[in-house]
C-alpha cells in the first residue's frame, strides 16, 4: 500500500484492509516511481486511488482503478472507475474481467469452429463426395439441392444461429455470480 498519509493513519488502514506491507508519507512522484520499479521487476501492477495525488501512479500502473467518489482527475486517469467507494469492488471487477475474457475466448472458439466446419460445406466441399456416390442422396436434397451445394437459406439460418449462440453466451455475464 502506497499512501501519502501519516504513518499512523497508513498503519491503521493497512491493518483494516489486511495489507502487510505499506509505505506512508509518499509524494505522487514517489508512488509512480515505486510502481515503475515493480514493473521493471516484471510485475503487472494495479493501482487503486481516489485523489489528485494518485493520478501519476494511476497513469503509470498497468491497470489504474479509481474509486467512484474520487477526484475528477483520478477518474479520468484511471482505466477502471468503480461505482462505489468500496474496496470490495476491486475484487468484483477482477472477477468480472476474468469472466469476460473467458466468454470472449469461448465465443472466438465457437465462431472459428463453426466457420471452419460450415463455410467449406456451403462452398461445395461435399460436391466430390456426392459425385462419387452418384449424386445427392434423396433425403439430403432439401439441404444441398441437386447440385450438392448448401441451400442458401439454410446457410443464412446457420449463420444467424451462430450469431445467436455467441450473443446468448455473452448474455450469461449478466447472471454471473461475482460476489
Q: Comparing 130 with 83, which gets the higher pLDDT?
A: 83
Sorted by where each begins, the domain ranges of the chain are 7-86, 98-175
Topology classification of domain 7-86:
Rossmann fold (3.40.50)
Element (H, E) at 171: helix 152-171
| pTM, two decimal places | 0.73
Three-class secondary structure of residue 61 per DSSP: coil
- Please tell me the predicted confidence (pLDDT) of residue 65: 96
Q: Comparing 178 with 160, which gets the higher pLDDT?
A: 160
Task: Give me the phi and psi of 74, to 5 degrees please.
Answer: -65, -45
User: What is the Cβ-side half-sphere exposure of residue 13, based on CA atoms within 13 angstroms?
Assistant: 14
DSSP state of 151: P
In the block, which residue shows the cell 505522487? Answer: 28
**What band does 142 get if pLDDT is binned at 50, 70 and 90?**
confident
d(CA 35, CA 11) in angstroms, rounded, equals 20
Amino acid at each position: 500500500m502506497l499512501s501519502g498519509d501519516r504513518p499512523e493513519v497508513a498503519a491503521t488502514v493497512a491493518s483494516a484492509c489486511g495489507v502487510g506491507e505499506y509505505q506512508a508519507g509518499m509524494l505522487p512522484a514517489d508512488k509512480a516511481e515505486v510502481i515503475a520499479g515493480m514493473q521493471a521487476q516484471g510485475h503487472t501492477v494495479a493501482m487503486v486511488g481516489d485523489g489528485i495525488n494518485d493520478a501519476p501512479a494511476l497513469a503509470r500502473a498497468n491497470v489504474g482503478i479509481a474509486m467512484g467518489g474520487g477526484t475528477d482527475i483520478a477518474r479520468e486517469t484511471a482505466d477502471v472507475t468503480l461505482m462505489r467507494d468500496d474496496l470490495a469492488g476491486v475484487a468484483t471487477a477482477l472477477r468480472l474481467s476474468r469472466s469476460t475474457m473467458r466468454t470472449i475466448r469461448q465465443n472466438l472458439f465457437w465462431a472459428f469452429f463453426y466457420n471452419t466446419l460450415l463455410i467449406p460445406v456451403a462452398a461445395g466441399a461435399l460436391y466430390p463426395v456426392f459425385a462419387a456416390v452418384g449424386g445427392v442422396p434423396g433425403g439430403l436434397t432439401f439441404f444441398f439441392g441437386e447440385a450438392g451445394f448448401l441451400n442458401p437459406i439454410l446457410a443464412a439460418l446457420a449463420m444467424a444461429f451462430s450469431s445467436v449462440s455467441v450473443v446468448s453466451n455473452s448474455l450469461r455475464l449478466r447472471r454471473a455470480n461475482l460476489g
